[in-house]
A = this chain, B = another copy of it.
Amino acid sequence: MPSHMELGVSKIVQNLLTSSAERQQGSKVLIHSQPDKKAIIAMIEQLQMVLFPDYFVKKKVSRYAAEYYIGSVLDEIYINLVGQVALVLLQLDVFQKADETIRNAEATRIVEQFIATLPQIQSYLYMDVDAAFDGDPAAFNKDEIIFSYPGLYAIMVNRLAHELHLLKVPLIPRIMTEHAHSLTGIDIHPGATIGKYFFIDHGTGVVIGETTEIGDWVKIYQGVTLGGLSTRAGQGLRNHKRHPTIENRVTIYSGASILGGETRIGEGSIIGGNAFITKSVPPHTRVSIRNPDLEFQRDEMEETDQSKYWN
């Protein structure tokens, strides 16, 4: 006698597929036209290898063969990225009905532009390493920063994703930055514009919104939000500047929130921990929570069973 399962499973499978197909207007069931998330993540690793060849090449390569090896990895990036971009172009109205040849040509044009920016991105990243070393007394040396600092990783992925964002590639830049978000707890939208010598220390909980602009020599700490004032208008706010502008040489300590598209933090200012700022701050200003309004009271420490470790 067939079990409940045997009778029911066929219906469950059909439900799962139908519901999905309806959502997608029947047009994309198990299609081959979505980007491959794992391939995109693998590509980030290869880009990291190409940008920091002394650190992330995982196998022995002879010195004389460095050019062969990096050239070969770069070609792999090139081929994979053209493939992924050609798929996501389907998300744009103008390419939705374009055949594969046209999308491949456009994807090739985009990816060649992207790859041409890599040397510049590399030079910015070495500046970011310098900023981290000068900014963090706990940094043993620059190698430690390149190998292990989550802030540098998040900035690297943002700099790469931002180029693709400027080239109007849909989906992929966000998949890239959300991967960095997952690894680092730092959520930088690909649309955010970031200057030279940027440093994020610790980083967990940092949020930097789509239309944020950040100058040079800026340093921020964990838990900082550079966000929108309100998002209650939903999709109606699309394409407005909703996030703040941070000028050169600003430092923002942990937990501070700076909100709103009109809000501008002037050059050289310092924003203290947990500050909540929704208006502009003039240059060279130090903003801090005035009197941490705390109550101190001696505690009568009863020793209950449950609290034996915690009292």
Contacts and interface: CB of A to CB of B under 8 A. Distances in A.
Interface residues of A, number: 167
B12 A115 contact: yes
Given A54-B20, A235-B306, A311-B268, A71 B65 contact: yes
Contacts of A250: 311
Nearest to A286: B299
The binding surface of chain A is classed by DSSP as: mixed
Interface string A61-80: 11111111111101110110
Given A204-B185, A294-B288, A74 B231 contact: no
A260 B171 CA distance: 40
Contacts of A97: none
Contacts of A201: 231
Given A37-B147, A174-B148, A277-B294, A249 B309 contact: yes
Given A2-B64, A268-B301, A293-B290, A59 B35 contact: no
A3 B50 CA distance: 22
A24 B206 CA distance: 31
This chain's copy number in the assembly: 6
A269 interface: yes
A15 to B, nearest CB: 4
Contact of A4 (B112, B295, B308): B112
Contact of A306 (B123, B134, B210): B134
27 contacts: A4-B112, A6-B64, A9-B74, A9-B78, A12-B115, A12-B119, A13-B68, A16-B119, A20-B53, A20-B54, A24-B54, A29-B53, A29-B63, A61-B72, A62-B75, A65-B75, A71-B71, A91-B140, A135-B234, A140-B174, A204-B204, A232-B310, A234-B310, A236-B305, A275-B292, A281-B296, A288-B294
Interface in A101-132: 108, 112, 115-116, 118-119, 122-123, 126, 130-131
Contact of A78 (B5, B223, B237): B5
